[in-house]
Amino acid sequence: MTGFMGTGKTAVGKELAARLGFEFEDTDAQIEKEAGCSVSQIFRGKGEPYFRRLERRMVRRLKGRKEMVLATGGGMVLDPGNIRQLRKSGWLIGLTAKPHTVVKRLAEHRDRPILEKPNRLAEVRRLLGRRRSFYERADCLISTDGLSVGEVVDRIQDWLLARLNCTVPVRVAPNPYTIEIGWDILKDLGTRLAGLGMGRKVAVVTNPLIGRLYGGVTLRSLKKAGFQPLYVQIPDGERYKTIRWVNFIYDELLKHRFERSSCLLALGGGVIGDMTGFAAATYLRGIPYVQIPTTLAAQVDSSIGGKTGVNHPRGKNLIGAFHQPRLVYTDIKTLETLDRRNFVSGLAEVIKYGVIADGAFFGYLEAQLPRILERNPHYLLPAVKRSGEIKAEVVWKDEREGGLRRILNYGHTLGHALEAATHYRKYLHGEAISVGMSFAARLSLSLGLCKAESVERQERLLVRSGLPIAFPKIGQRAVLDAMAHDKKVRGGAIYFVLAGPIGRVSVRPVPAGKIQAQLRAFASGRRRRFGRK
């Protein structure tokens, strides 16, 4: 926080730090504490140059610190070296105010060395005039006149959240696309779509719950950008992910004469995304569609990669097609309204990405889990982004699941079987995958592919997230049989994604006997069910 005295650096900084869960520091206060006397006293006793030296030393000392809001003295920015140092450590937020406001706010304060002269207003004007160009070098400059402390912090937070917006490329041929991730970006959807060069007819496919929450802002944004949006509502729930409801979408599109240039928008979670994508893949042999995922699982997994489909009475996702979206538009803010169980279920996939492809990311999740669970966008968004990057890269390298893409199925072989054996009623997908990851890790350990520490770290992070890593007695036959049905089976052999050190996996066929033995060990003994809330 930089700015002239009286612009509210300390008050705003403290409030901002509180909201972000950061520490708060004030260079003046720190200097006073260490010197054992006030800034005015230092000015009077040792002169301004001496004080500036103390300031510089303080900046150098604080520059490596993270997760801190630092309020600086009003003259700090006069030294270009200080600005450089501060900018390396984070954002420079500048607060400004008109001279009158400054004088008024300072009326209550005594201990201001520079302003002890008779004509305060003239002196403020003079100093502000001299320093303006320095303050304006801030990354973010906010006029505080007429605003409460809370309002100033709101604006800073908006600015900081907008800095999170980012783009992840998905380099599939022949039509690459991007994942656009941001905070509160749903309102800008129309403008963004207008740049894709499609027809004016778009259909927003969603369910009643998501429609009530985000249908309004979506439709308004589309209309404002000149689109003619059609609203298509599907009942909420996996059991409506059927050919029958895809047929309902067809009917709506045909009724409104949707053409090949028309576009479908999937506003919702995985069910909406898969069905809308499948409708887009098969309507007039393929029309464009955009994914607007509103659940964590959809944002980090199902919306990326072009897998679309519906369920069949004999199993999930048995009917479908590969059809890449034209854009994945991910508004992290929509996760605010996601219930905890679904949010945590989505986290299982995020953790999976760490295990299969990025040990450092796994470490980030271990360190930042509490903030991610609070859905603090500053920690959540980077996790969504990194997950998207990993998925996009794997998909790019292997669009049709020839080989590499199978590593995304870490934890899924047992996970799918568990879901099937419990008739998709007991576990959310991520919960089953969590159990599956624990199983795959233990199977990997038993095959000598990873160390016990790797298994422990995985299980600890899953449990801390609130995910299950064991399942109660289920007929092993049922689970094994369900595994044999899984579409990852080739020529009768059961292929497993197995863990190496965190960040590395491999795909290998595992003999049924080995799996059965591990299942016995896994389901019995002293293992409890962890973490389900």
Residues that bind a second copy (CB under 8 A): 199, 243, 247, 250-251, 254, 257, 259-261, 278, 281-286, 307-309, 312, 314-315, 317-322, 400-401, 485, 487, 489-491
Query: Out of 32, 55, 180, 349, which one is annotated catalytic?
Result: 349
Give residue for tokens 């689109």. Answer: 227
Query: Out of 180, 352, 409, 442, which one is annotated catalytic?
Result: 409
- Shortest Cβ 284–a second copy spacing (Å): 5
**Beta carbon nearer to a second copy, 49 or 402:** 402
Classify residue 44 as left (phi > 0), alpha (psi -120 to 50) or beta: alpha
**Beta carbon nearer to a second copy, 113 or 315:** 315
Query: Out of 429, 442, 457, 459, which one is annotated catalytic?
Result: 429
- Shortest Cβ 193–a second copy spacing (Å): 17
Which tokens go with 114?
A: 């520079």
- Shortest Cβ 188–a second copy spacing (Å): 26
Which tokens go with 399?
A: 């669009």
- Shortest Cβ 129–a second copy spacing (Å): 58
- 285 assigned to active site: yes
Query: Out of 9, 201, 241, 307, which one is annotated catalytic?
Result: 307
- 55 assigned to active site: no
**Beta carbon nearer to a second copy, 21 or 509:** 509
Q: Are 432 and 419 in contact (CB under 8 A)?
A: yes
Which tokens go with 437?
A: 């990851």
Query: Out of 201, 378, 412, 457, which one is annotated catalytic?
Result: 412
Query: Out of 401, 426, 451, 514, which one is annotated catalytic?
Result: 401
Distance CA 208, CA 58 (A): 55
- 307 assigned to active site: yes
Distance CA 280, CA 289 (A): 6
DSSP one-letter code for 490? B
- Shortest Cβ 451–a second copy spacing (Å): 34
**Beta carbon nearer to a second copy, 146 or 491:** 491
- Distance from chain centroid for Cα 490: 35
167 burial (CB, 10 Å; 0-12 / 13-18 / 19+) is exposed
Query: Out of 326, 405, 406, 442, which one is annotated catalytic?
Result: 405
**Beta carbon nearer to a second copy, 162 or 484:** 484
- Shortest Cβ 507–a second copy spacing (Å): 15
Distance CA 225, CA 279 (A): 24
- 429 assigned to active site: yes
Which tokens go with 43?
A: 């000015």
- Shortest Cβ 228–a second copy spacing (Å): 13
**Beta carbon nearer to a second copy, 88 or 285:** 285
Q: Are 177 and 329 in contact (CB under 8 A)?
A: no
CA dihedral of 150, 156, 158, 159, whole degrees rounded to 10: 170
- Shortest Cβ 259–a second copy spacing (Å): 6
**Beta carbon nearer to a second copy, 288 or 377:** 288
- 239 assigned to active site: no
CA dihedral of 446, 449, 454, 460, whole degrees rounded to 10: -40
- 477 assigned to active site: no
**Beta carbon nearer to a second copy, 199 or 382:** 199
The H or E element containing residue 509 is strand 505-510
Could you tell me which residues come within 8 angstroms of residue 77 by beta carbon, excluding any fewer than 6 positions away? Answer: 2, 83, 131, 134, 135, 137
- 409 assigned to active site: yes
> By C-alpha distance, which of 222, 173, 178, 180 is closest to 199?
222
526 burial (CB, 10 Å; 0-12 / 13-18 / 19+) is exposed
Which tokens go with 288?
A: 């464009």
The H or E element containing residue 293 is strand 289-293
Altogether, the residues listed in the chain come to a count of: 533
- 453 assigned to active site: no
Catalytic machinery residues: 285, 307, 349, 391, 401, 405, 409, 412, 416, 429
